[in-house]
Amino acid sequence: MLGDEVPPFFEALGKVFKKYGFRDSRSRNRLKYLIDAVGIDEIIKAVEIEGGRRYQKKGVTQTPVQGGDKTGKVQLKNGTFALHMVVPSGIFSGTAMIQTAEVSKEFGSGELRLTVEQNLYVVGIPEENIGKALSQPVFQQYKNKHSVFFSDLIACAGTEHCPFGVIPNKPDAIQMADYLTKKFPHLEGKVRMYWSACQKGCGIHGLGDIGFVGVKFRKDGKPVTGVDIHFGGTVTKESEEGKLLIKNVPLEEAKFLVEELITEYSKLKKDKETFEEFYSRILTRISKEAVKFLMKFNYLMKKKKIPVRVEINETVLGRFSEEEEIFGFGFQIYRKLTGKAPYSRSNILEIYDEPKPESLKKLKPDIPAKLSEIVMKMIEKSPEKRFKVFTEIEQHIKEI
């Protein structure tokens, strides 16, 4: 879209929203819900009719930019540097802002730049002044280099400052980032965690590598606050909204589930590979239901102190159905608990001539009977008796 086309486009879009948006519903009075209801193609048609002109279809981005902040120091065109300052969840005091401005005045150009990730840059720092600037007290409080879990963290206002907020949000985001930093202190790469305190999505959770949105639900008959967890949002090249991964997760459990996903990222990532790149290379080759199972199963095994976890490997990657993925995970569990494979081949299509495996409970009498029952049904030789989809397993797992 050419520059002079942008203002009339947004004027026409505003008129379309005014005419057709859900203006009688306070909770749905957003363009997002209109797009969800009719689809983006219908919105474009309506805008073209309202504006009286047609727009060219989108092209291919020729200069893709990696989403998120550039951390540490960034060299500018004039040869000076911008120093990144990580502000966890965007919580920054007036005193700290004044101190940062004074650092920029004394050692740089006197300018600051804010980032989408709720951090900032102190700009115009000559190379000889970098050490002096970083030694100032404000850079001891707000780090120039932080863990991957803090550097690209976004959280909207939350219940303290927003009447729509369902969860505190900013403290929740910081708590999870701190927990993951302690678990993965040396992890390199980029993990964009975006938090919205409610469904309105002001924390742009849909674009995060891992997104969280505050929700209320009932658990064991009692009201609980928690999050829905999304994953797979992209901002490099053409942005794409992430997918809902797990619904209704209590706040106190969310960090343990995310830990399992980050464990797979840390084990399988290439050198300095971002989570977005990892998602594209690995997680698109496995169903989101399989990812959900991995996170919930591994967390449950830790709680029950059962020494087994499933992982993303050749037994589940690139399969054509959930049934094959379930078989792959069951194959892993059986082999890890017994020390031997249930079949000589790990492909569900190649076991037709193999003998039935021995009972897991017989080989490992100390494991819960329900776990043995689930695993044996995951790797059952007879297709009629095998689990077909992950939702079949969910209720059974709760009974372990």
- CB under 8 A, 24+ apart: contacts of 354-357: 354/381, 356/381
Boundaries of every domain in the chain: 3-51, 73-146, 151-285, 288-398
Please answer whether residues 348 and 324 qualify as being in contact, where contact means their C-beta atoms are separated by less than 8 angstroms: yes
pLDDT over 70 at 61, yes or no: no
Please answer whether residues 387 and 326 qualify as being in contact, where contact means their C-beta atoms are separated by less than 8 angstroms.
yes
Token digits of residue 265:
């990222």
pLDDT tens across 183-207, in order? Answer: 999 999 999 999 999 999 999 999 9
The predicted structure's pLDDT at residue 70:
83
Given this chain, do its domains 151-285 and 288-398 carry the same CATH topology? no
Residue 135 has pLDDT above 80, yes or no: yes
At residue 272, the pLDDT reads 87
The residue among 329 and 58 whose pLDDT is bigger is: 329
pLDDT higher than threshold 70 for residue 73: yes
pLDDT in tens, 325-358: 999 999 999 999 999 999 999 889 889 899 999 9
Least confident of 1-10, 126-135, 257-266: 1-10
The pLDDT value given to residue 69: 72
pLDDT on residue 64: 59
The conformation of residue 108, written as its DSSP 8-state character, comes to S
Residue 53 has pLDDT above 60, yes or no: yes
The CATH classification number of 73-146 equals 3.30.70.3340
**66 band by pLDDT with thresholds 50, 70 and 90:** low
Q: What is the pTM of this model?
A: 0.87
Q: Which CATH number fits domain 151-285: 1.10.1060.10, 3.30.413.10, 3.40.50.300, 3.40.50.1000?
A: 3.30.413.10
**Considering the chain, what is the average pLDDT of its residues?**
93
In terms of Cα–Cα distance, which of 248, 250, 164, 147 is closest to 201? 164
Alpha carbons 156 and 170: distance in angstroms, whole number: 7
Determine the topology of domain 288-398 in CATH.
Transferase(Phosphotransferase); domain 1 (1.10.510)
pLDDT tens for each residue of 244-275: 999 999 999 999 999 999 999 999 999 989 99
Residues 6 or more apart whose Cβ sits within 8 Å of residue 315: 328, 329, 331, 332, 346
Q: Which two tokens stand for residue 385?
A: 């008796």
Predicted pLDDT at 100: 97
pLDDT at 71 over 90: no
Q: What percent of the chain has pLDDT over 70?
A: 97
Q: Which of 19-23, 24-28, 32-36, 271-275 has the lowest mean pLDDT?
A: 24-28
What's the pLDDT score for residue 65?
Answer: 62
Per-residue confidence (pLDDT) for residue 170, from 0 to 100: 98
Rounded to an integer, what distance in angstroms lies between the CA atom of residue 89 and that of residue 153? 6
pLDDT band at 26 (very low <50, low <70, confident <90, very high): confident
User: What's residue 59's pLDDT?
Assistant: 67
Using the predicted structure, report yes or no on whether residue 310 has a pLDDT greater than 90.
yes
Alpha helices in the chain (DSSP H): 6-20, 31-38, 40-51, 94-107, 130-134, 137-141, 148-151, 170-183, 251-268, 275-281, 288-304, 322-338, 360-363, 369-378, 391-398
pLDDT bin (cut points 50, 70, 90) of residue 63 is low
DSSP 3-state assignment of 379?
coil
pLDDT in tens, 277-294: 999 999 999 999 999 999
